[in-house]
Structure 1
Amino acid sequence: MTVESTAARGKSRRAAAQKSTARKRQPRPDQPARPDMVQLLTPEGERVEHPDYALETTPEQLRGLYRDMVLTRRFDAEATALQRQGELGLWPSLLGQEAAQIGSGRALADTDYVFPTYREHGVAWCRGVDPTLLLGMFRGVNHGGWDPNSNNFHLYTIVIGSQALHATGYAMGVAKDGADMAVLAYFGDGASSQGDVAEAFTFAAVYNAPVVFFCQNNQWAISEPTERQTRVPLYQRAAGYGFPGVRVDGNDVLAVLAVTRAAAEHARTGQGPILVEAFTYRMGAHTTSDDPTRYRPKEELEAWEGKDPILRLRRLLERENAADEAFFGELEEESDALARRVREAIRTMPDPDGMAVFEHSYADGHALVDEERAQYATYLASFADHEEN
């Protein structure tokens, strides 16, 4: 066989694979909801019923959910701006995922325990963690800033997928103690490809651990689309491990609330683990070091903007006369006040110690670390010399 024929056959195989992948693409965001996806509120703000997830809400509860999402988005926008101004080293925005986080966060009991990733600012809000405490880690002045046991909300986890194992181990302990509580593990679609998550699924299933695996499928693992990570919808992976999975419209705060509430009850009552896939979209960058315009089609973003979770709930509030202009005006003032408080908190935080990265890695001295410390100290000193000159 010639080199040319081998290359031609390889090209043919790649073309066939691309066609196969195209047939298995996830549904376009401008298409109606899939029949396997739980939805209680359409993008137009109309309530719909679901046979398995009934949800009764009062106007006060709807306003509360709307307030949570608006304030969370405002805090997130302020943190992004602070990073651009050099106050934070990095910031992972939750823009577009407010419903997935607020709906699930408000579905939990105080006794439930949460293991987040590094983007669950809305869940932190629901658990009563002061937003300003989230900034310290991204400024480099602490490793979290809050006591996990005060709010049953673990510290942020940067290592992709490892928190699924932490949550499963904690839930196994909960089961042995006979405690009436659920453990939630948040992760993204990208983390679902990690071995840690697969191992967590295995242990949770075998030990019937009371854990809810909450996957925020925001369609992109940095620049890698979901369609290149899985050949089936993510929620269907649970069946292979022997526990149920459900897909919910992650931009529908009411559906997320209902589904997560049922999932947490499933875990608390000894029925074992369950996987919730919140089908949502990351409207911004993966983090402030990312440029999504390099890999994400503009048309895709525009289509998902029509499914904005906050706009969707506002349409319902206006449709049912559950909120007036005074409410929206007061909420805007509250948002401005939160933004001012966040800016003031940053100004009172110390600058990070650039040399601290070399501490606490080893109990005793280490020749290579000592060498790197000296090199970095010389590098930092060069800036001081430049300012003097």
Structure 2
Amino acid sequence: DAARAALTAAADAPDDALAVARAAQVEARAALLRTPDQLDVLAAAGVVDAGGQAYALLVDALVEVLGGEPAVALAAADVRPRSAGVPSGPEYEVMYLVHDAAAAALDALRDRLAALGHSVVVVGEGATEGGLAQVHVHLAEPGAAVEAALGAGRVSQIRISALDPVAAPPRAVVSVVAGPGLARAVEEAGGVAVPRRGGRPPAEELGATLGRLGGDVVVLPNDMETLEAATHLVARLRGERAGRGRHLVVIPTVAQVQGLAALAVHDPDADFDAVVAAMGAAAGHARHGAVTVAEGAAMTMAGRCEVGDVLGVVDGDFVEIGDDVTAVATRVAGRLLASGGELLTVVLGADAPGGLAAALTAWVRRHPGAVEVQVLDGCQPRYPVLLGAE
């Protein structure tokens, strides 16, 4: 925008360098104020783009060098972050001049600073004699920025300023879900739902979600295949730039009800490590079961099943074979509560028979001990009901 304004001014007044610079100055400042509306991360933090601000400062300096009035500082706006989050660590703005640096040395300096921080600007022509470049970067270790330039040329006019802490993006819990009802339950609990469709883990969708979220992330895979895919994905992201400076953790949940149990104890304001420990403990204490219908004949731990048989599953093993979903579901619930429990979670699938939730609730009321029943309409395919005991 500033360049277009300068070109227009140059066409109108080709011999007036100050007029051209002033046109660029006005548009650069206007564009800078628009940056929070263009990037959600800036709007969330309540700041303008740092690189754009550095460019505007350079144009201000150009106007002043050409004889214009010194720039008047923009009035501070009463801007507050739109998203809650904990403050990030201290960060510094570092600016300096580099004299007599070759072009290749400036390119290497730019790459080095990009690895150390962000909002990197290296402006100037490289020359082993008489060359001058202006450098700008934001980073956590200001000394490293200065040290990076020592091999490029002579450094002068070093300026280091502490930046105000910026609210970090809030922590997110990403949960892979097997049905739209489960997705609603996750989102109502403050999580981010990634649907699993078909037979393969949603690795691509999970990767895109983790890339979009800027803060710390806890991943709940909720089945064995997705657990493996999520573990590989997070390990790769930790080694890339997108994963630096943030916590990325996979809690090894292998069932939907384990993910729900973990999400229920998430405290967005608590320490990250403490939250991960609490969520992992909640998931580990949630015993899980399910009811499905056999799609083919096979030998199971409960005996031989035929097509159409109703199968009961506890902790991943087939333990019941029958011909009625409600009857098998009741026996699975009995196995889950045999060692005790205070809560039975019932997640109804897309093919759940009518009256299943009521039948399970009535059975629990006859069960010794005070057990609460929580019923969710998960709408998951293949499994008429998922069960969890805590």
Q: TM-score, normalization: structure 1?
A: 0.27
The structure carrying a bigger strand percent of its residues is 2
The structure carrying a bigger helix percent of its residues is 1
**Higher alpha-carbon Rg:** 2
Q: TM-score, normalization: structure 2?
A: 0.27
Structure having greater relative contact order (Cα 8 Å, sep ≥ 6): 1
